[in-house]
Structure 1
Amino acid sequence: MANKIQFLAYYLPQFHPIPENDSWWGKGFTEWTNVTKAQPLFKGHNQPIMPGELGFYDLRIPEIQEQQALLAKSYGIDGFVYYQYWFGKGKMLLEKPAEAMLSNKNIDFPFCFCWANETWKGIWHGIHDPRVLIEQTYQGKEGYQAYFEYLLPFFQDKRYIKEQNKPVFHVYKLDDIPDIAVFVTTFNELAIQEGFDGIHLIATICSEAVLNSDFVYGKVGVDVFMKMRYSQKTMSLKNSIYLTLERKYNKITNSLYRKNKSIDERSKPLIFDYQKGVAKMNSSFTSLKHISCVFPNWDNTARTGKKAMIFINATPLSWKVHLQNTVNELLKNPHNPQIVIIKSWNEWAEGNYIEPDATYGRQWLEVVKSVKVNLLSR
């Protein structure tokens, strides 16, 4: 049924100071620090990108999360996918907003977690610094048991998103888990012990080999995002537009992309036309496990400066076309998971958000509401 389609949005918790960020980047560092320092790289480049009515919020203030939930709910978002950072041996970062949300029953809004199992490097979390800040590690069965025990109060919360009595748990890079069978089996068995029917895994990035493994498919069931923004196939790069700093347009070639695709090696930004890019994206489903993933905008100049990847002409109007086309394709595939993942709710330093901004106000959200209303009227 059309009205069963869920819109879930990634939620970034890096909007409050933590000791580690203070040490790495200076006292009081949050995502807003880079946002406000961003500089335009060419004529007409909209930087810095400023927030709208919620302002430069601090997630230590309970009312902020309450306001976010109310906004999301009123504009058709069905839940947040909180990024969760567990580095092993009990080490976490940016966990406080989710913990505060768990205890704040005024936040009446569905949620689940995405384990962002990736080593933090400075180039992604600060400005022009390639060093390893904190390494992602794995400690086998005991480590996974400890992680599950931490997650259990969240899983048991009535707001936590479940699929057939299985807590939905996203993993960013499933293949990076060295003993993946142990991880999957441990989480699944512990979930059953706690009265669930298992764990429902969703992988952002996953190889076909892992996706079709018996221990994954038979016991748990792993769905996989159609990852739009990094896929050469879905981006149809031969037809994308590359814009140099000299404001000259050139057809991007595969060799140019290969030369510039590594952010560590890039010396100038990769700039694509959003309208043409999303029009070329392949939103068809090649597997019953695939889940649609959409993005309203993207410009990570605030994080990476001249190494940025920028989508020009990303407007609420072009976002609506992208979202509606994706939903239309999903309606043709009723046996696929009836979910659209929105990347993202509030990744401001990546210029990737649907929260109100200073330029368009609530128009990014109004697009979601409009598409949702259209779905419900079918």
Structure 2
Amino acid sequence: MQKIKIREVFSYYLPQFHEIPENNEWWGNGFTEWSLLKSAAALFSGHDIPKVGELGYYSLEDVSVVEKQYQLAKQHSISTFAFWHYWFGDNEKLLHKPAELILSSDVDVKFCFAWANHTWYNKSKGLLLKKQRYDYDIKKHFNYLLPFFMDDRYTKIDNKPVFFIYNPREATNCALFMDTFNKMAKEHGFDGCFFIAENSDVHIAEYYGFDRFLNSCNFMKGRSLQQKITDKIRIILNKKIPVCLRKYDYSERMQRFSANVDVAHNEIPVVFPRWDSSIRHGRRGVVLTNATPAAFAAHLDQCLLKTAHIPESERLIMIKSWNEWGEGNYIEPCLKYERKFLEIVKSKIEIM
């Protein structure tokens, strides 16, 4: 298969690899995403708990780490880190330091933001940690982001800063939010914002006027009736005693997940390197087994073929994710496969 030209290859980037006071209070002193990985245990025969590779247990308080990560990504045809952005209300934000360090430095990192508009819970204890609000001053939110938007390293498409919204269905201010951002962006020399809806479908995207949409939350769609019933029983049982880990074959899930992606109607294909949320949720998690480089290559091929019949300038891909180790969902090097997943991306994609 020849290399396919893609305008932008995004990869979600999790900034939770440094301590913050809130996480220390909620989860214990010293908590970062690494805490989950270091305490994870194999739950079945052949369960492969990931081990970090060449980048080690890094801290994002060192901005040079992000630059090293991005140089590695760029060398392997990943063009933009989509940083998860946590904004809960008027200047109520979390995990903002890594992006702010980029802004105040001259490191070579191309990035954009994905607003993770969801409330934070401690699900195991049923505790509310941080509530997502929508009754806040949207102009304050835009003005915080404006210096990032104005930065040459911030990804723009058609003179519009790219901005993802994780869950438009939940954002009761979504229409006003997008209208305000578009108007203020134009006041500062842009042609508006390039909005991408996550966790969405074509109906949501068209209703609000998103430029593109994707649904990385949809990878369990297409299960058989028997699988759905079995999962339902396991979920009910796990609410009492977490003993019923859900396991699925990676290739089977990814083939079904990608089959109905509708690029012609502005859907962005999503590529999963792997998935193992038992690292975060123990036996309440979901594990995709047999996520080998060969299986990943086949999944990537299927996603890229979806883009073959649209203009090169419109081709976008999302890799989920760069470094979500707590979900076993990462493409940066691990000890077992080193750079193999990245090398597969490089072998198949040419950034325009």
TM range, normalised to the smaller chain?
A: over 0.9
Aligned partners of 1:138 and 1:59: how far apart in 2? 29
Q: Which residue of 2 aligns with 1:32?
A: 34
- Listed one character per residue, the Cα deviations across residues 63-116 of structure 1 (whole Å, up to 9, x for unaligned) are 21121011111111111000000000211000000000112212x232110000
Of residues 275, 279, 297, the one that matches 1:302 is: 279
Indicate the SS of the match to 1:176: coil
| 1:88 aligned onto 2:89 | yes
Q: Which residue of 2 aligns with 1:340?
A: 317
- C-alpha contact (below 8 Å) 1:228/1:293 kept by paired residues: no
Aligned partners of 1:132 and 1:178: how far apart in 2? 20
Which structure has more relative contact order (CA 8 Å, sep 6+)? It is: 2
Following TM superposition, by how much is the alpha carbon of 1:273 offset from its aligned partner in structure 2, in angstroms?
A: 0.5
Give the AA of the match of 1:72: A
Q: TM-score, normalised by structure 1?
A: 0.86
| 1:316 aligned onto 2:300 | no
Aligned partners of 1:207 and 1:67: how far apart in 2? 35
Count of residues paired in the alignment:
347
- C-alpha contact (below 8 Å) 1:290/1:337 kept by paired residues: no
Following TM superposition, by how much is the alpha carbon of 1:272 offset from its aligned partner in structure 2, in angstroms?
A: 0.4
Following TM superposition, by how much is the alpha carbon of 1:176 offset from its aligned partner in structure 2, in angstroms?
A: 1.1
Change (3 A) 1:87 1:94: same
Of residues 191, 203, 223, the one that matches 1:237 is: 223
Following TM superposition, by how much is the alpha carbon of 1:45 offset from its aligned partner in structure 2, in angstroms?
A: 0.6
Change (3 A) 1:56 1:252: farther
Following TM superposition, by how much is the alpha carbon of 1:179 offset from its aligned partner in structure 2, in angstroms?
A: 2.7
Structure 1, unmatched stretches of 5+, are 239-250
Structure 2, unmatched stretches of 5+, are none
Following TM superposition, by how much is the alpha carbon of 1:185 offset from its aligned partner in structure 2, in angstroms?
A: 1.1
Q: TM-score, normalised by structure 2?
A: 0.92
Q: Which residue of 2 aligns with 1:159?
A: 153
After the TM superposition, which of the residue ranges 283-292 and 56-65 deviates more from structure 2?
A: 283-292
Change (3 A) 1:197 1:264: farther
- Listed one character per residue, the Cα deviations across residues 308-335 of structure 1 (whole Å, up to 9, x for unaligned) are 1000100111111111121012113448
Give the AA of the match of 1:122: N
Residues 107-146 of structure 1: matches in 2 within 5 Å? 108-123=108-123, 128-140=124-136, 143-146=137-140
Change (3 A) 1:263 1:35: farther
Aligned partners of 1:159 and 1:336: how far apart in 2? 19
Indicate the SS of the match to 1:291: coil
Indicate the SS of the match to 2:307: helix
Change (3 A) 1:257 1:334: farther
Following TM superposition, by how much is the alpha carbon of 1:25 offset from its aligned partner in structure 2, in angstroms?
A: 1.0
Give the AA of the match of 1:110: K
- Superposition RMSD on alpha carbons, in Å? 2.2
Of residues 338, 341, 346, the one that matches 1:361 is: 338
Following TM superposition, by how much is the alpha carbon of 1:199 offset from its aligned partner in structure 2, in angstroms?
A: 1.1
Q: Which residue of 1 aligns with 2:259?
A: 283
Give the AA of the match of 2:272: F
Give the AA of the match of 1:211: A
- C-alpha contact (below 8 Å) 2:214/2:268 kept by paired residues: yes
